[in-house]
Structure 1
Amino acid sequence: MTNTYKTTYEILHRIYNKYRRRYKENSDSKHMCCMWPTNNPPDIIEETDPFCDIENTFNITIDDDEALNLFYMLFPC
């Protein structure tokens, strides 16, 4: 694991830990989708608290198409 990848993962994991306990069914699986409820996932992840934290932490803006790709990666049909 490269240093950049490891650092990025550690930052994302801190954000994940902040939100995963909000949903009792989410154990510490280290699956980033567990920032959102897995038994009743949101229709969109944009504008959710975890999503905004990721954008703010990395000083990025994720457009609609990228957000949709992330959604399907996190919650495959």
Structure 2
Amino acid sequence: SLHRSLARGGVRPGKAELQKARMRLSLQEHLWAFFHERVAIPSEEQAVARRAALDICAELRVFLHAKLPDMPLREMYLSGSLYDDLQ
């Protein structure tokens, strides 16, 4: 890296080394942009999805209780990626 080259005796990095450093930074910038544009889910959408999942969970509990009234059902709860902010 640039810092290691300079620390080893003040030798300036070569053109190829500078180009590699720029390419690494460029890849990191591309990955960051991809994450924010395609992967990250806005908090508003997360809240809507969480509410929908809670509604589905409640409806499922009512349905199961109607079909099997004698079956003891424990409390249902969300877990996994939906519970962990959809990430």
Q: TM-score, normalising length from structure 2? A: 0.25
Task: Kindly indicate which of the two structures has a greater share of residues assigned to helix.
Answer: 2
Bigger Rg over Cα: 2
